Structure 1
């Protein structure tokens, strides 16, 4: 198959941009990139998808989200949500307890559908459903497989729902990690999920480390999102959160430390020395009023800081737009944020995925997976290799995505999801959300 007659943004090492460009796709890989004319002349028997001047670029990567929060959109919360701990206890930890396994699968459907419609082709999720733990990751996997999106999953181990549920969460992670290690599709991956230091006792972390021995996996954990996480660690263990995780050998190149809002320079140095990945979620941090992480310093130090949404949105354009301006506002410096945001999404997120997937993602080049999107965009100013990211930030949104291909197969064409019945799924979600809302 040849996808062409558009402007190809490769995001390769040379920042190549090809006007009137094209991509040759063989099976689930990109086989060649070049001019449209050259490729259709060279490969006359290939099916040709003429995008009629659209942008052609790599699919987006969301490095942290929460599928379980899908029913929250528009939901009223009558309990106190003043302060981050109350938000957790009265909103998120209240909602996740209401979910059945079928809710989990329905949430996965709606999240993945919306992600695909916004050009997201790979999503790393961090799941919680305390009264429906056993089999929950498999339910999400079923939805992901049916829809055709690439994903990485984990279950959030925590002490907050008692030891029985804690142990079920450990078991769910272990079983799913083993399942994914025997899956050769390279579409479904697993990490070992942990909530946060302040809901994980030493006893639990010892159990987690014992259970993870020999699994060759990484951990996915919230780190110092709110200041309480640091207060709790200092009070109980006389060490800061990152120091505590380091002592338990949680941190390494496969670990995702989410947020890191309230970490100090020592903790940043530990993250750097252990090659731990950090994921920034700017809209969520602002919405929860927890503060702004010092992403600029972390990136200057060489820490791999990626970009996610924390489920605030399923549109990475939104997350990029917010990251760009948040750090300007926070530092009173209008020269920062732009280049760092581009690096988080287009360099660091693909680098993060190299720890888990066999072939490159987030790039259009020979040998990379064919995760490709097209966008309807008629620029009013010149677009070239020096300014395409400016066009993405200031001229485009997820709703401009026209086609989404994952692993060499179209899952959306002309804004229509091809693999599942979007209308039926959304109708089911609306109906079930009404029932869930009555319980909140």
Structure 2
């Protein structure tokens, strides 16, 4: 039994969202009690005490869209690579990179990404894998990395026609195989979706093939209208917008997660709303790829779409995405009031709700029977922290580097900035070896 106390407790519970000198008790994998530090110490004197030292105690973050395979792109220089638009970025970097990834590289990148998640307080990650250098078993490699680090994860493999029919079918088979394997687990630490790249790399026949092979109760994880190439392709090929095309193919729905949705119109937004399709926005990645800003505020407020926040492989520190989302929507709409409430709703409320369409244990809140996923941030506030302003303290005063302790499913994964039970030096040494292998394969 763990008792984390002596801090500003942000529970995200509607009944009692904030306790100034709060504490949380974890028994097994879930939360037993929430209250004041004094009261819980008296009620549970036998519990191991983790002292927040006046910092912030809150639920672990959920990252709803990531690309672990991008881990080894950091610092990579590709000969002759000078992209002019998003299509050039995909073809010149990402497709070349994932075409060379094998399972050893995939596992090494996964170990780093999940380790980095722990360091940044991300306790649940939804990932979208592509490694056409070795498809079969690639999700197992990520699964093993997640188990080693103890991070909750939901995995899928990116189906695409870009490398021909054989590899498309291999990607479908990898999704189906891992979905069945994940369903046999009883620990609620790993689940699976069915990954699709994007409409413009998927034929009608491939979409039908994916739909025919989709296991019951599972949705798709797909990129929608991230760049204009996706829009033009759908209009040219089918005479209809991307969302309409995917709707007719049976891809949308409550269990489906749509990434980006930048270049879509009101009718498409209505389809996403009517099908209860989840949408995740990724501000840093969108800015880096110069693809534009989605109408996320409009989708959230006017269409009541379940909007979430992801990092899209740009970082594993989702507090960065929080900060960038707050700024990009103000800038995009020329409205200083934009994003103050909407972005926190995406990150702190909707991300856990979206994740709970796959995970059974309640996420993103500190209350009895919810997941024992708790983080402690080392933060000395220069101004009072209250029930009305704690999101502003997170926005302007904290980032992943403030995370001192990370507890996932009741197990301490990082304490006093030290990751527990993991040879961190070995993880990074192995990553260096695998990254060098990948870089040589790309540039040789």
Give me the CA root mean square deviation. 1.0
Partner of 1:215: 216
Partner of 1:327: 329
SS in 2 for 1:272: helix
Partner of 1:368: 370
Partner of 1:309: 311
How far did 1:15 drift?
A: 5.7
**Deviations 1:82-128 (Å, cap 9, x if unpaired)?**
10000000100011111110000000000111111000000000000
**Runs of 4 or more off by more than 3 Å in structure 1?**
none
How far did 1:431 drift?
A: 2.9
Partner of 2:83: 81
Partner of 2:97: 95
Equivalences for residues 279-294 of structure 1 within 5 A? 279-294=280-295
Q: Determine if contact 1:59/1:372 at 8 Å carries over to the other structure.
A: yes
Partner of 2:154: 152
The reply on whether 1:430 has 2:432 as its aligned counterpart is: yes
Query: Structure 2: how far apart are the matches of 1:240 and 1:430?
Result: 43
Q: 1:194 aligns with which of 193, 196, 202?
A: 196
Q: Determine if contact 2:104/2:434 at 8 Å carries over to the other structure.
A: no
Q: Determine if contact 1:177/1:215 at 8 Å carries over to the other structure.
A: no
How far did 1:422 drift?
A: 1.2
Q: 1:125 aligns with which of 124, 127, 141?
A: 127
SS in 2 for 1:303: coil
Query: Structure 2: how far apart are the matches of 1:395 and 1:47?
Result: 29
Query: Structure 1: how far apart are the matches of 2:56 and 2:336?
Result: 28
SS in 1 for 2:196: strand
How far did 1:177 drift?
A: 0.5
**Deviations 1:334-389 (Å, cap 9, x if unpaired)?**
11012111000011101101211112101111110000000101100011110001
Query: Structure 2: how far apart are the matches of 1:258 and 1:268?
Result: 13
Partner of 2:17: 16
How far did 1:53 drift?
A: 1.5
Partner of 1:241: 242
1:235/1:283 CA distance change after superposition, 3 Å? same
Equivalences for residues 51-66 of structure 1 within 5 A? 51-66=52-67
How far did 1:215 drift?
A: 2.5
Q: How many residues are paired up?
A: 439
Query: Structure 2: how far apart are the matches of 1:42 and 1:287?
Result: 50
How far did 1:430 drift?
A: 2.0
The reply on whether 1:231 has 2:218 as its aligned counterpart is: no
How far did 1:234 drift?
A: 0.6
Partner of 1:104: 106
Point out where structure 1 has 5 or more consecutive residues left out of the alignment. Answer: none
How far did 1:14 drift?
A: 4.0
Q: TM-score, normalised by structure 1?
A: 0.98
Point out where structure 2 has 5 or more consecutive residues left out of the alignment. Answer: none
**Deviations 1:151-183 (Å, cap 9, x if unpaired)?**
000000000011111001000000110111111
Query: Structure 1: how far apart are the matches of 2:101 and 2:196?
Result: 19
Query: Structure 2: how far apart are the matches of 1:15 and 1:137?
Result: 39
Q: TM-score, normalised by structure 2?
A: 0.97
The reply on whether 1:299 has 2:300 as its aligned counterpart is: yes
How far did 1:416 drift?
A: 1.1
Partner of 2:139: 137
